[in-house]
Amino acid sequence: GFSFYEYHSFPAIQEYIDSLAKRHPDLVTLQNLGTSYQGRRMKLVKISSDPLAGNPIIFVDAGIHAREWVAPAMALYLIHRLVNDPDARKELDGVDWYILPVVNPDGYEYTRSNRANRLWRKTRSKNSIFECVGVDGNRNYGFKWAVSGVSKNPCDMETYAGPKPFSEVETQMVRNIMMENSKRMKLYVSLHSYGQYLVYPWGYTGEYLPKEWKRLDSLARMVSDAVQRAGGQPFKVLSAGKWYAAAGGSDDFAFGAVGVPYSYTMELTNGYEFVFPERLLRIVLPQYYEGFRTFAAQIKKEF
């Protein structure tokens, strides 16, 4: 079977998702999103015990940064628990989960292709004028685009914002999921890997906070407490911009442009940066799952 405590290739992930949807047609549906820049087929995983009820939606994505492999692993583990764990009825009744486990499959496969590419972050798109490849997907969203924390240089390996907002087909897909479901989407969580932070808007500035910051902050602290109760490390909770300002992130777009009331970037893996050892997945993924249960309970309570 498919082990959740290992890192998998993108084709293996897709195969798992396809077979899960076949085995659980009552709970899991897949929405085709089109193809990545290099032609990889992308599918949104929708998990719902009552798709016609118009439930609030929790949208989770992962893997916009190619090298942050623990993020797709967490998304897959979340899918697995929601579908296969009989206790997950609580998390499913009254909430729909939309999960996109690998936003940047081209970059993900590139980091798997050989050790020299392991730390690649960006997409793999080619710019017609420049020789350099790739855009930082998390600087490419169309809200306060490029006002802070970005590079305008296409050859920058880390934070090139792209030639224009939503230049990347992969960020367009995430944007479309948000816009098409904007009324019902109440929580957005983007999974990353860097030292255990749970951050909320604004990301583009550390100068000020949205007027709703207290409820963003308090839900994040509840989630952090739940992870800690499960034996995990607590998150550092603050606004993304107070950590460091960087514009064009998906969290700001969801909150500021789409109007999703709760929006977070969840940076996993205390003590590690982008690369998290596979052998520790079995310890941390179940701990983080408890955080998602708290998210769901609070969204059910409020909406």
Catalytically active residues, by annotation? 267
Give min distance, CB of 122 to ligand 0X9, in A. 11
Closer Cβ to ligand 0X9, 96 or 252, answer by number: 252
Among 203, 232, 256, 291, binds ligand 0X9 (CB under 6 A): 203
**Least distance CB 194 / ligand 0X9 (angstroms):** 4
**CA dist 129 to 133, 154, 186, 260, Å?**
11, 10, 40, 36
Closest to ligand 0X9 by CB, 199 or 258: 199
* Closest C-alpha among 250, 284, 229, 243 to residue 179: 250
Angle between helices 213-229 and 281-302 (to 10 degrees): 140
Stretch touching Zn ion by CB under 5 A, among 29-37, 57-65, 171-179, 241-249: 57-65
Exposed e or buried b per residue across 9-25, where buried means at least 16 C-beta atoms within 10 angstroms of its C-beta? ebeebbebbeebbeeee
CB atoms within 10 A of CB 148: 18
In the bound state, the residue with its beta carbon closest to ligand 0X9 is 203
Binding mask 58-97 for ligand 0X9 (x = CB under 6 A): -------x--x-----------------------------
Residue 219 interacts, among ligand 0X9, Zn ion, none and using kind-specific CB cut-offs from 5 to 8 Å, with none
Calpha distance 62→292 (Å, rounded):
14
With tokens 């310890």, the residue in question is 283
- Residue 65 contacts Zn ion per CB under 5 A: yes
237 interacts with ligand 0X9 by CB under 6 A: no
Residues 262-291 that bind ligand 0X9 (CB under 6 A): 265, 267
Q: Nearest distance from residue 252's CB to ligand 0X9, in Å?
A: 5
Beta bridge partners of 44: 31
Window 170-199: residues binding ligand 0X9 (CB under 6 A) = 192, 194, 199
- Contacts for 234-237 with beta carbons within 8 Å, 24 or more apart? 234/196, 235/196, 235/197, 235/198, 235/266, 235/267, 236/195, 236/196, 236/197, 236/198, 237/197, 237/198, 237/199
Each residue 13-32 as x (binds ligand 0X9 by CB under 6 A) or -, in order, gives: --------------------
| Alpha-carbon gap, residue 68 to 66, rounded angstroms | 6
Three-state SS annotation for 150-162: CECCCCCCCCECC
Return all residues near 79 (Cβ < 8 A) that are at least 6 apart.
17, 20, 45, 47, 99, 101
Torsion of CA 83, 263, 240, 148, to 10 degrees: 120
Residues from 189 through 248 that contact Zn ion (CB under 5 A) = 192
CB of 260 to ligand 0X9, least distance (A): 14
Query: Does 251 interact with ligand 0X9 (rule: CB under 6 A)?
Result: yes
Give the residue with the Cβ less far from ligand 0X9, 27 or 150: 150
Q: Which helix (H) or strand (E) is 81 found in, with range?
A: helix 70-84
Structure token digits, residue 279: 């052998």
Applying CB under 6 A, among 252, 261, 291, 299 the residue interacting with ligand 0X9 is: 252
Q: Which of 13/189 has CB closer to ligand 0X9?
A: 189
Q: Does 240 bind ligand 0X9 (CB under 6 A)?
A: yes
In whole angstroms, the minimum distance from the beta carbon of 273 to ligand 0X9 comes to 7
Which residues of this protein are in contact with Zn ion, per CB under 5 A? 65, 68, 192
